[in-house]
Amino acid sequence: MIFDFITAGIFDAATLFQWVVDNASYLLIFVLMTVESSFIPFPSEVVVPPAAYLACTKGDLNVFAVVLVATAGALCGALINYFLSLWIGRPLVYSFADSRLGHALLINREKVENAEKYFDSHGAVSTFIGRLIPAVRQLISIPAGLARMNLGVFCIFTALGAGIWNGILAVLGWWLGRTVPLDQLFIQVEKYNDYLTWAGLAIGVVCLGVIIYNLLRPRCKPQA
């Protein structure tokens, strides 16, 4: 199970899941999603579905507020990675590009600058797609920071992608709240998480295909 693979050696997914169920609050959702989206990866599937489940069954939380708070936390975590990459990672990359080892590996300052220009032109779409793909969600902020992607654009497309993903997870949690008892929740979320993973990958591949098609298709020259 990819659900167990991601958390292996870092968290016990079932224990964390139950802890969220027992202590669910907007503050906890925000903090955990901030951590999830930054440099300590663990799946958002252990946070949003149980919160949405409780919103459905107990009413202590509002499912729309769960999505908003989770998205705000994801954006906060993404900004941590963005600024760490900008302030620490970027100088290291340029130092390496100017070094003898970098030149020996055919890496130089011009190529790094060209990579930055590419991400500046296509970073919005890359960021949006990346937020929908498992294991990429936590990493997509790093090249954005390295490339000095426009902060406003970065925030918009990060929030959009994270919001869609959190919305999907909330729908799953709400639906399970109407169909399964609490003691079966983790098993069911783990079961459907595999389908969500493949769905996220499929969406990412389709979006990437559309982008490549638009880049490669022949352009009609205007008639004189």
Per-residue confidence (pLDDT) for residue 211, from 0 to 100:
60
Per-residue confidence (pLDDT) for residue 51, from 0 to 100:
93
What do you get for the CA distance between the two ends of the chain, in Å? 60
Distance, in Å, from the CA atom of 118 to the CA atom of 103, rounded to the nearest integer, reads 21
Of the pLDDT bands very low, low, confident and very high (cuts 50, 70, 90), residue 161 is confident
Torsional sign, CA 47, 48, 51, 56: negative
| pLDDT, tens digit (0-9, with 9 covering 90-100), for 168-185 | 899 999 999 999 898 888
Average pLDDT of span 126-151 = 77
Distance, in Å, from the CA atom of 168 to the CA atom of 166, rounded to the nearest integer, reads 5
| Residues listed for the chain | 224
Distance, in Å, from the CA atom of 164 to the CA atom of 170, rounded to the nearest integer, reads 10
Distance, in Å, from the CA atom of 121 to the CA atom of 223, rounded to the nearest integer, reads 28
Torsional sign, CA 163, 165, 170, 175: positive
Of the pLDDT bands very low, low, confident and very high (cuts 50, 70, 90), residue 111 is low
Distance, in Å, from the CA atom of 129 to the CA atom of 133, rounded to the nearest integer, reads 7
| pLDDT, tens digit (0-9, with 9 covering 90-100), for 84-109 | 888 887 777 677 677 777 676 666 77
This prediction has a pTM of 0.76
Residue 215 has pLDDT above 60, yes or no: no
Residue 7 has pLDDT above 60, yes or no: no
